[in-house]
Amino acid sequence: MGKIEWAMWANEQALASGLILLTGGIVGVAGQFRGWQFAAYAVAAGVFVCLLEYPRSKRAKGTSVERTGQYCFTVCVKAFGPLTRNYYVRAFLHAAICVPGGFMLATVLGCVCLGIASLIYLAAAIRGEHWEPILPRKETRKPVAESIKNPPQNPPPRPPPEMRRKQAGDLEKSAYDNPMSVTDDE
Amino acid sequence: CNHCVMEIWFWLCLQFVWMAINIFLFVYFYFFYDLGPQFFYTRHLLGSALPWARAPAAVLNFNCMLILLPVCRNLLSLLRGSFVRCSRTMRKQLDKNLTFHKLVAYTIALMTAVHTIAHLFNLERFNNSRQGLGDELSAALSELADTENTTYLNPIPTYFAFTTIAGLTGVVITLALILIVTSSMEVIRRSYFEVFWYTHHLFIVFFAGLVFHGAGRIVRSQQRTNPPHNTTFCKDRPDDWGRIPECPIPQFAGGFPQTWMYVIGPMVIYLCERLVRFIRYMQRVRYKKIVMRPSKVLELQLIKNGFKMDVGQYVFVNCPAISQLEWHPFTMTSAPEEDFFSVHIRSAGDWTDKLIEIMKKVPEGAEGPKLGVDGPFGTASEDVFDYEVSMLIGAGIGVTPFASILKSIWYKFKDSDPKLRTRKIYFYWLCRETHAFEWFADLLQVLEKEMEERGMGDFLTYKLYLTGWDQSHATHVMVHFDKDTDVVTGLKQKTHYGRPIWDKEFEQVHVDPRKTRFYFNKENF
């Protein structure tokens, strides 16, 4: 299990927990259960956790797969800087958020799941992982060199004509291979 | 393509039957609990949440029974072998076992959600009745307790979720299910297989809890008493219960737990499956040859007593020196005609990297580390031999079974095997880059040479398409345009760049769909 990035699993677990917390909260409020105030809290907490966990982090190794439409969320989460980058913060945040869910049956499952996600994030933080936003790669065109706009005005310097003429007397010295084929039949 | 259409239809039929059974169970048990007179008083306390909880429970029983079966790969091999007489279309369905496993898993997850939410309502309503928040009848029903003359209907003490068998097991197994689901997401499964595999073993906890989930018998129905208790008459006079002859105190008893009846069979079958895997693991695997190929590809040529394979099948390989519990699948690249079987293993993660490292250190001619091999699995591609013209298309890693197929076709041809009807093969190989597939290019070279020696240069026409080319590639090719062999692969047939234009290809090959069999092998087609 050497190369596992725990944060990837923690993220899936936390997102699932957010949804479970949300569902439990909705049931509690809709059914007007005893302790529905905890359920109302769970709805808000569930939504918050889902929003925080929806954008997947960029993987340290390998290709990262974005969730559909996560770009807006990435930008929001990135704006909080070190608070969202650091997994210790996330671990403690989730641990704190999940506690009130434990006081009502409808939300207790969401509470335990989020607690587990918090533990996995702790493991990720201890191993030094952190959250990186997945941003679209900017296409950088190679800037066109300035010299292309100013072609040379003069021909290159050449030796005087006597030297350029082939020395018919000295075949060895004047022979050379054409770099490209100049005959017709190839 | 008739075969493809038939296969799809068959698969759809199976799914339809499975879905029909699910719907039937849901509707039947919903009305059983919604209309059954023995649940009249129970329904008075719980309302429709009772049938809403029991209907998914029935569907859950059925699906928990099914979920273990598709992953018994040795059992499936057995079925495949026994049905050799039946059409290949039917046998091909067995290859979709993992798809079916996932479908059943999603159903279990969905039904668990419905079941849990319904029970949340049930508990709340039980609680309310106990606290006297309902009507007179509810209060009377909640008063009943398990004594000499009476039996209870309302099971609460409060917070029973953690004090009854049903509550405790329910929470534990739902938690196990959630952990299994989150670690089975594709992202986790593809990149961190070990997490997926080890967490998935929580299914043991799941099944253990599931079997005991109903042991508390807390869903209660009214029993016959002598004289009988007529609910229609007596429901309006709970104060008179036990005092007038028409209304003796109603008696209740819990339903007999049934889940174990559904799941015990598959659990035993799965146990046998793991036993078979263990036996296979103990069988000796000898090394014929270990070859390190370019781009960190390892070729292992192995021999196992009694091992019989067909083209296009795969095996699971285990190396205790690396990990006792991990089995990894690899398509076989050897032909059945050879006296060994081979796999080509590419460096693609922890396990494969370690395997390659270990194999590198094995001295020439010595035996490598102990290996376990389970298989072969998968429906063979043997009908490729039945057609005069075969058009084989392999993309990316999907080219691996073609090593087996091409070799086998060539062996059969050399031996003049009467089963071989193939006279011409068109092979299309598409990949982003040839990196890690040099061994396949080598194989094509060898085949090419042998065919030319026999004057059969026309037997195999192959076209390679590199879809991941760039400017430097193109320049390199331009400069070496005149060479006889291709600059990238060393083969006589030149590499093409980009994807094939299929219309042109089909024209060139004069494809007559009735006489040709299309065989695709895709990674991401």
Chain A, 45 to 104: residues with Cβ < 8 Å from chain B are 56, 59, 62, 65
Q: What ipTM does the predicted assembly reach? A: 0.76
CA–CA gap between residue B348 and residue B414 (Å, rounded): 36
> Which residues of B fall within a CB distance of 8 Å from A59?
191
* CB B327 within 8 Å of CB B355: no
How is chain B split among helix, strand and coil, in percent rounded to 5?
50, 15, 35
Contacts of B15 (CB under 8 A, 6+ apart): B103
Do B357 and B347 touch, CB atoms closer than 8 A?
no
CA angle B91, B93, B96 (to 5 degrees): 135
**Residue B77 exposure: Cα atoms within 13 Å on the Cβ side:** 17
In this structure, the number of other CB atoms found within 10 A of the CB of residue B458 comes to 10
The identity of residue B441, as a single letter, is A
- Strand, coil or helix: what is B448? helix
Task: Pick B192's closest partner by Cβ from A8, A109, A112.
Answer: A8
A179 to chain B, minimum CA–CA distance in Å?
Answer: 11
Question: What pLDDT was estimated at residue B143?
Answer: 76
Q: Within 13 Å, how many C-alpha atoms sit on residue B346's CB side?
A: 15
Between strands B372-377 and B314-318, the pairing is antiparallel
Query: How far from chain centre, in Å, is Cα B519?
Result: 23
Residue contact A105–B123, C-beta within 8 A: yes
Q: How far apart are CA B368 and CA B317, in angstroms?
A: 14
Contact list, B123 vs chain A (CB under 8 Å): 105
Query: Digits of tens for pLDDT over chain B (525 positions)?
Result: 666 777 788 889 989 999 999 999 999 999 999 999 899 888 888 889 999 999 999 999 999 999 999 999 888 888 877 776 666 667 777 778 889 999 999 999 999 999 999 999 988 888 888 777 778 887 788 777 666 556 767 765 446 667 788 888 999 999 999 999 999 998 888 777 788 888 999 999 999 999 999 888 888 888 888 888 888 888 888 888 888 888 888 888 888 888 999 999 999 999 999 999 889 888 999 999 898 888 888 999 999 988 988 888 899 999 999 988 788 889 999 999 999 999 999 888 788 999 999 999 988 888 889 999 998 888 767 777 777 888 888 887 778 888 898 888 888 888 877 777 778 888 888 887 777 678 888 888 888 888 888 877 788 888 888 877 666 767 776 776 666 666 666 666 667 777 777 777 777 766 665 555 555 554 333
Residues paired with residue A4 on neighbouring β-strands, in sequence order: none
Inter-chain touch A33–B188, beta carbons under 8 Å: no
Mean pLDDT, residues A117-132 taken together: 92
Rounded CA-CA distance B149/B338 in Å is 79
B341 forms bridges with which residues in the sheet? B302
Q: Do B183 and A116 touch (CB under 8 A)?
A: no
In chain B, what are the domain boundaries? 2-164+216-276, 284-377, 389-522
Instruction: Report CB contact under 8 Å: B178, A113.
Output: yes
Q: How far is CA B48 from CA A136, B171, B283, in A?
A: 50, 22, 57
From the number of C-beta atoms within 10 Å of its C-beta (0-12, 13-18, 19+), residue B373 rates as buried
Residues composing chain B: 525
Q: Torsions phi, psi of A176, nearest 5?
A: -150, 160
Query: Distance, in angstroms, between A100 CA and closest chain B CA?
Result: 16
Cβ pair B151, B253 in contact under 8 A: yes
CB distance A1 to A46 below 8 Å: no
Q: Is there a contact between B60 and B174 (Cβ–Cβ < 8 Å)?
A: no
Residue B319's CB is within 10 A of a number of other CB atoms, namely 20
Instruction: Calculate how close chain A gets to B136, using CA atoms only, in Å.
Output: 21
For B65-74, write each residue's pLDDT tens digit.
Answer: 999 999 998 8
How close is the nearest chain A Cα to the Cα of B225, in Å? Answer: 35
Longest dimension (CA), chain A: 113
Q: Are strands B389-395 and B328-331 parallel, antiparallel or unpaired?
A: unpaired
Look at residue B68 in the predicted model and tell me its pLDDT. Answer: 95
Q: Which residues contact B264 (CB under 8 A, 6 or more apart)?
A: B211
Distance CA B517, CA B321 (A): 43
Which CATH code is given to the segment(s) B284-377?
Answer: 2.40.30.10
How deeply is B165 buried, as exposed, middle or buried, from its count of CB atoms within 10 A (0-12, 13-18, 19+)? middle
Closest CA to A55 of A41, A45, A65: A65
Backbone angles phi, psi at A9, to 5 degrees: -75, -40
**Residue B395, H or E segment:** strand B389-395
In the numeric block, which tokens belong to residue A144?
């066109």
d(CA B111, CA B500) in angstroms, rounded, equals 46
Instruction: Kindly list the distances between the CA atom of residue B266 and the CA atoms of A23, B61, B276, B278, in Å, as whole numbers in the listed order.
Output: 32, 12, 15, 18
User: Tokens 């059974």 belong to which residue?
Assistant: B21
What pLDDT is stored for residue B522 in this prediction? 47
| Closest among B430, B438, B375, B426 to B399, alpha carbons compared | B430
Residue B457 or residue A130, greater confidence: A130
Q: Which two tokens stand for residue B98?
A: 């993992």
Residues of B in contact with A28 (CB under 8 A): 120
Where do the H-state alpha helices sit in B373-470? Answer: 400-414, 438-453
Q: Which position has the higher pLDDT, B184 or A174? A: B184
CB-nearest partner of A9 from B161, B182, B349: B182
Beta bridge partners of B300: B290, B343
In the DSSP assignment, the letter for residue B256 is P
**CATH 1.20.1270.360 given to domain B389-522:** no
Query: From the CB of residue A125, how many other CB atoms can be counted at a distance below 10 Å?
Result: 20
Q: Which residues contact B525 (CB under 8 A, 6 or more apart)?
A: B395, B398
Q: What angle do CA B10, B15, B19 make, to 5 degrees?
A: 150
- pLDDT bracket for residue A180 (50, 70, 90): confident
Structure tokens that stand for B138 in this block? 């509810």
- Quote the CA–CA distance of B423 and B425 in Å, as a whole number: 7
pLDDT digits (tens, 9 = 90+) for A29-49: 998 888 889 999 999 999 999
Query: Is residue A127 within 8 angstroms of chain B, CB to CB?
Result: no
Written in H, E and C, the secondary structure of B115-142 is: HHHHHHHHHHHHHHHHCCCCCHHHHHHH
Residues of chain B contacting A16 with CB distance shorter than 8 Å: 178, 181-182
Residue among B395, B416, B387, B333 at smallest CA distance from B514:
B387
A115-118 long-range contacts, CB within 8 A, separation 24+: A116/A13, A116/A17, A116/B175, A116/B179, A117/A10, A117/A13, A117/A14, A117/A17, A118/A14, A118/A90, A118/A91, A118/A92, A118/A94
From CA B188, how far away is CA A4, in angstroms rounded? 9
Band of residue A9 on the pLDDT scale cut at 50, 70, 90: very high
List Cα–Cα distances, A70 to A11, A56, B245, in angstroms. Answer: 14, 8, 70
Give B178's contacts in chain A (Cβ within 8 Å): 13, 16, 20, 109, 113
